[in-house]
Amino acid sequence: MINKIRCQLVQNAASILRSPVQLLPQAVQKKALLEGLKLVFKEALDDGDFEFLQDKWLKVEIKDLQLYWYISYQNEQLVVAKNEVEASVSFAGNLNDLVLIAGRKEDPDTLFFQRRLSIEGDTELGLEVKNLMDSVDLEQLPKALQQLLNQLAEFVYKGVQSAQTHNGVVNAYSN
């Protein structure tokens, strides 16, 4: 019974969250994203590891939430824009897949080859972004955030696995 509930929550998470998240004012979304990025990438920012993104834009899209943001590095700071700019590279995936990547339950390369993560544009820049994401040491995050991310990723992972088992088909979960 719990597995069935988890499976339903995971499969319907985007449709449940889409409206409330889209109702958040742009300024709130931008501030939350920027503060989250600063927290997760604190060490990389301190080391100047974002210089490769200077004067370039990365588009990050959560397809099933119909949300996207543009991220750049200007004047030694991360910048987030919601308005359309010309992206040098874009990463797009569904909510559950991005949670699995963030929680290290799925490898971005695997999801890319399964067509669950799309990377378009400047491939060299995309590789630099991917390598920077891979270099994040989750142990450096505050313990509460580590636990939240681990529990969320585990919840989604088990929900996806349950859906695959329930459907009787490997890789039944996609898009």
Q: What is the domain extent for residue 30?
A: 1-159
Lookup: tokens for 30: 């931008």
Residue 77 lies in a domain: yes
Which pLDDT value is given to residue 170?
45
Give a yes or no: residue 21 inside a domain: yes
With respect to residue 172, please indicate whether it lies within any of the assigned structural domains.
no
Residue 163 pLDDT greater than 90, yes or no: no
Overall domain count for the chain:
1
Contact by Cβ (8 Å): 82, 33: no
Percent of the chain clearing pLDDT 90 (strictly above): 66
Query: Is residue 171 very low, low, confident or very high in pLDDT (cuts 50, 70, 90)?
Result: very low
Kindly tell me if the per-residue pLDDT of 167 is higher than 90.
no
Query: Has residue 168 been placed in a domain?
Result: no
Cα 138 to Cα 59: distance, rounded to the nearest angstrom: 23
In this structure, what CATH number is given to the domain that contains residue 75?
3.30.1050.10
At 175, the pLDDT band (50, 70, 90 cuts) reads very low
Q: For the segment 125-134, what is each residue's pLDDT rounded down to a tens digit? A: 999 999 998 8
How distant, in Å, are the alpha carbons of 28, 59, 132, 137 from that of 147? Answer: 24, 27, 22, 14
Residue 171 lies in a domain: no
Question: 67 — phi, psi (to 5°)?
Answer: -120, 145
Helices (H), 1-63: 2-23, 26-40, 42-46
